[in-house]
Structure 1
Amino acid sequence: MNTESLMTISNQSLCVAFIFLLVAIVPVALSVTTKNKRTKRLGMSLTIAALLLQLTYFALRWLAIGHAPVSNMYEFMTFFGIMLLASALLLYQLYKQIVVVLFSIPFSLIIMGFGGVFTRDASPLIPALQSNWLSIHVITVAFSSAILSIAFATGIIYLLRTLDVETQTVHTRSLEFVMYCLVVLIGFISSSMFFSFTSEEKLIQFENREQEVENAAYIMPALIVNQDAVLVDSGQSIGVIEISNMLDAKKSNTILWAFLIGTALYLIIRMLTRKKIIQLLKPLTKKVNSTVMDEISYRAVVVGFPLFSLGGLLFAMIWAHLAWGRFWGWDPKEVWALVTWLFYAAFLHLRTSQGWEGKRTAWMSIIGFGLIVFNQVFVNLVIAGLHSYA
């Protein structure tokens, strides 16, 4: 079987898995609220089948391109989503809490959907990436991040179960803000896919910070551009807001569209249901044992933290030494990996020595997930550094 055929089957496997997971949400949710064994079997069967298809995608893509498919944003985020689903199924076997699977499926879909925004092309590895330590480092980071993300899911479940979502408190407002952020992310994914299918790419020319002429390809309508930006084809000025050439206007434009569409989607949900999102999700946690959720959050960090220590620090340092001749260089990605590691170290210290449990554990799990997302997404895309190629 040739490379093209392997890539085609690989991509098709991932698409079918995505559909299976979307469908699985319904029977899994029904099994949580009704304890119906048939819907539970159907939901779990679809979820397991989706995982097997995802692993098929990963194996075939690896075989087709000749190296582990974790070298760009699409591949990394897809693998991250796969490992999140696998971790949820593993924890289900240990704790038999199907509600964890229910909340993990949407997070996995969002992560993989975000990855789908970026190019799916498999390009040859640059010299710095041509090392087996790349695969070891990135796969370990993705797996540990997925396990730590389970703590995020169970933290949200714990808060939904224990909080009175009908009242206005710091906890309920903060949790609703977390839901809003997730909706904004969904808005970004939806808008990116919509414009990629319906809009033609526009090439915009401007002077960058070095006062050199540079071109930027816009898929989304250009609301934010750099100063004196013009269309390459016609030379006409474009954009609504002009910003300094010291800033990346294209990325700012993308963030603005994500905010606008995500906020619109959030407001539509609120207007149609006349409820906050946490009020809509609260019924799914009525039969949840909050103590078990707190325990799963803690156990997920206990397992994920040492794996992150290996993948995010030790293996990363070995790879950095082989690729760039130094173990540590204060690259933005390295700094934020250290910040994330220190945060989870503090998490475990406060849990074991200070007795931080319940809501404190839940919120630290949510904040930790925020650091992971910031490190894996924002640092890669916005902050210039050695990891910007990802």
Structure 2
Amino acid sequence: MNLIDFSGDAFIVAFTLYCVAFIMYALAVMGRRFRKRDPEAHLAKWGKIAFVTTTIGLIGHLLYFFTRWAGSGHVPVSNMYEFMSFLSMAIMIAFLVLYFIYKKSLLGLFALPLAILIMAYAAVFPQQVQPLIPSLQSYWLGIHVTLAALGDAFFAVGFIAGLMHLLRTVNFSGTDKGSRREQRWLELVMFAIVVLIGFILSVYSFRAAGYQAEFNQTLVDPKTENSTIVKVEYNMPPLVAPYQSETESMQSFLGMKSPLMEAPSWMHGVNAGRKLNTVVWSLITGLILYGLLRLILRKPLAKVIQPALHRLDPDDLDEISYRAIAIGFPVFTLGGLIFAMIWAEIAWGRFWGWDPKEVWALITWLFYSVYLHLRLSRGWQGKYSSWLSVIGFIVVMFTLVGVNLIIAGLHSYAGTD
């Protein structure tokens, strides 16, 4: 077995152990609720077992990272599979750092599902080791990407603690305008998480079914007006076909034998139609999954989760969220901006080029700058601070995922296939 195969097995082991640890955290919380004698001891016992399992999973994740590095000859952060895998590993590292500081095992109840989702999302992309394009053949790649991802990971833990704070403090029995507004916005966040789960489920479902469709798309160079025909492959039923394309082959799905619409002309790039199709399927699957959950639970998802957090101190969660972001901000500043600009100068001959990923990295940095300013200078704490931490991580996820799915740019090399 070569190192690349071993790294793939280590990835699967880490993913499995994270799933087991999450189940243990869930059982610890559920058992505490139904245990009449010493429920806190029950939570502490199973929380420690879950923590140990998480640590072993992280060791497996580190094995994946270093063996893939050794097998490929470069830091494994050069495409979406490698980057998202590293991000999930960084989230677990950030979680463990904050755990050692605050000893709040229930953070794992939210940190682990986030890491698991990101690992599952990573596995959607091609996993083969790819040769680096010239602009990536620099040690600045590892410095820039790993530090940016580590900063994002601490932002993720800040989001987790902020979301837990909101779930703990929002008044679901309140009927006043303010309470209803908080309930709606919090439920919208839960819906967004379900949409991400729906995306992963839809991709894996159609992949397991072996679905495939092919189109011949005509691309016109706006400068020379020369046209070329390229083949575009879909692994999900094409609700949206590529712009200016003809169907070469398409499997029927629920009686649908042709695409419902064509991608708009303003969406540039050979993969634009396929990306839009993926977004549409994610929303459809997320809506169906969310509807089923609401039908089964008969309550808003946030309201269902709230009882599990009633013993947590909201002030502790607020403090953890702030500390995580305070740690992540300088790390992200170095990796996401300063070292990124140095690498851009080396790779493309300019420090800044208004590429979509660069712009959204700057927006992320500015948002968290505002967060820290309002927190330290204006005294924004509690719910205000928590909402900002949640919104901030939504900006982070759009920078990492949305830009690749919706906007084409120099960073689109990152494995959007």
In the superposition, the TM-score normalised over structure 1's length comes to: 0.95
Query: Is 1:221 the equivalent of 2:237?
Result: yes
Which deviates more, 127-136 or 28-37? 28-37
CA–CA distance in structure 2, aligned partners of residues 327 and 31 of structure 1: 50
1:327 equivalent in structure 2: 351
User: Is the Cα–Cα contact under 8 Å of residues 133 and 319 in structure 1 kept in the other structure?
Assistant: yes
Which 5+ residue runs of structure 1 have no aligned equivalent?
Answer: none
Equivalent residue of 2:56, what SS? helix
Query: Helix, strand or coil for the counterpart of 2:115?
Result: helix
Contact 1:166–1:279 at 8 Å: present in 2 too?
Answer: no
Q: CA deviation at 1:38?
A: 3.2
CA distance 1:352–1:10, shift in 2 (3 Å): same
Question: Aligned equivalents of 1:13 and 1:43: distance in 2?
Answer: 19
Q: 1:184 touches 1:261 (CA, 8 Å); kept in 2?
A: yes
Letter in structure 2 aligned against 1:231: T
Native 8 Å contact 1:32 1:98 kept in 2 = no
Check conservation: 1:225, 1:239, Cα contact below 8 A. Answer: yes
Counterpart of 1:29 in structure 2 is 26
Question: Aligned ranges for residues 234-249 of structure 1 at < 5 Å?
Answer: 238-247=258-267, 248-249=272-273
Residue 133 of structure 2 is aligned to residue 117 of structure 1: no
Query: Which amino acid in structure 2 is aligned with residue 16 of structure 1?
Result: V
For 2:212, the equivalent position in structure 1 comes to: 201
Equivalent residue number for residue 5 of structure 2: 8
Checking the alignment, whether the CA contact within 8 Å between 1:13 and 1:54 is kept in structure 2 is: yes
Tell me the residue number matched to 1:337. 361
Distance 2:67 2:173 in 1: 49
Deviation string 1:88-125 (CA, Å, 9 cap, x unpaired) is 11111110111111110001111111111111111000
Identity across matched positions, percent: 41
Aligned partner (choices 392, 414, 417) of residue 368 of structure 1: 392
Structure 1 runs (4+) greater than 6 angstroms displaced: none
Write the letter of the residue equivalent to 1:76. Answer: F
Q: Given the alignment of the two structures, is residue 139 of structure 1 paired with residue 146 of structure 2, yes or no? A: yes
The amino acid across from 1:199 in the alignment is G
SS at match of 1:213: strand
Q: 2 CA distance for matches of 1:42 and 1:11?
A: 26
SS in 1 for 2:75: coil
**Inter-partner Cα distance in structure 2 for 1:238 and 1:246:** 22
Residue 150 of structure 2 aligns with an amino acid whose one-letter code is: F
1:225 partner amino acid? A
**Could you say what secondary structure the match of 2:410 adopts?**
coil
The corresponding residue for 1:352 is: 376
Equivalence for 1:299: 323
Which of 58, 61, 80 is the matching residue for 1:73? 80
Rounded to whole Å, the distance in 2 between the matches of 1:228 and 1:67 is 38
1:151/1:296 contact within 8 Å kept: yes
> Given the superposition, is the C-alpha separation of residues 285 and 7 from structure 1 closer, same or farther in structure 2, using an over 3 Å criterion?
same
Aligned residue number for residue 406 of structure 2? 382
Q: Deviations over 1:329-386 (max 9, x none)?
A: 1111111111111111111111111110000110000111011111111123321211
CA distance in 1, matches of 2:103, 2:319: 13
Equivalents in 2 of 1:17, 1:243: separation in Å?
A: 38
Stretch deviating more after TM superposition (33-42 or 351-360): 33-42
Shift of 1:27: 1.7
Q: Which amino acid aligns with 1:287?
A: R
Distance 2:296 2:19 in 1: 22
Q: Note if contact 1:206-1:213 (Cα within 8 Å) is conserved in structure 2.
A: yes
* Pairing 1:54-65 to 2, within 5 Å after superposition: 54-65=61-72
Which residue of 1 is the match for residue 171 of structure 2?
164
How far 1:52 sits from its partner (Å)?
Answer: 0.6
Q: Distance in 2 between matches of 1:100 and 1:243?
A: 41
Query: C-alpha distance in 1, partners of 2:301/2:220?
Result: 42
Structure 2: distance between partners of 1:38 and 1:301: 29
SS in 1 for 2:49: helix
Partners in 2 of 1:43 and 1:9 — Cα distance? 25
Task: Quote the Cα distance in structure 1 between the aligned partners of 2:26 and 2:211.
Answer: 39
How far off is 1:21 after superposition? 1.3
2:276 pairs with one of 241, 252, 264: 252
Residue among 311, 336, 358 paired with 1:312: 336
> Contact 2:215–2:242 at 8 Å: present in 1 too?
no
Aligned counterparts of 2:358 and 2:242: Cα–Cα separation in 1: 30
Tell me, in whole angstroms, the C-alpha distance in 1 between the residues paired with 2:202 and 2:247: 22
Summarize deviations over 1:9-58 as a string: whole Å, max 9, x none: 11111112111111211221233452314322321121111111001100
Out of 33, 40, 49, the residue aligned to residue 42 of structure 1 is 49
Give the 3-state SS of the residue equivalent to 1:263 in structure 2.
helix
**Structure 1 counterpart of 2:189, from 174, 178, 184:** 178
Q: Is the 8 A contact 2:47 2:106 kept in 1?
A: no
Partner Cα separation in structure 1 for residue 106 and residue 180 of structure 2: 25
Whether contact under 8 Å (2:211, 2:237) holds in the other structure is: no
